[in-house]
Amino acid sequence: MSDMDDLLAVLEAHERELQFERMDHDLAWELGVYLRERAAQAGHGIVIDVALGEQDVFRAALPGTTSHNDKWIDRKKRTVREWGTSTYLAGLRFPLYNPPFSLETAPWVDARLYSGSGGGFPLTVRGAGVVGTIAVSGLPPELDHAFMVESLRDFLRRPAVH
């Protein structure tokens, strides 16, 4: 296996691991608050969004962010909804973020609407599938993804989630 195959396998494993037993508006809000508190404690200037379907349930912008981050959030959410996978994984499978992006390599993707950079993640309920999106923007792409994975892993370990 190549390094790329190894990375793809790790990202796919994240999506199998980081699933909820249930999801509703209250739990989505609780998740958003948890992500915000964790980001603030770490000093991360990020925007955080949690949505059920296409409805935003939680969005917060920490100091150091701009409306530009909101645009990235929207692109990441659109990518997760379209492919049902994390934006980092989508970006590695398709040329959405890393050059060379061109109409010849991906004519179906408008890079102004979608993003293959890390930080978008499917909100998945075990047995039901993807029910929403979680997205962060403000760190380098790999760190946005790492923040998401570490935070979701810790959130899901809390007894109140199950």
For the chain, give every domain's residue range. Answer: 3-161
In whole numbers, what is the pLDDT of the chain averaged over residues?
Answer: 90
pTM metric for this prediction? 0.89
State how far the alpha carbon of 131 is from the alpha carbons of 18, 25, 28, 38, in Å: 13, 11, 11, 23
Query: Which CATH entry fits the domain spanning 3-161: 3.20.20.70, 3.30.450.150, 3.40.630.30, 3.30.43.10?
Result: 3.30.450.150
CA dist., res. 127 & res. 149, Å (int) = 20
Q: Give residue-wise pLDDT tens across range 138-152.
A: 999 999 999 999 999
Q: Give residue-wise pLDDT tens across range 82-135.
A: 999 999 998 888 754 444 444 555 556 677 788 888 999 999 999 999 999 999
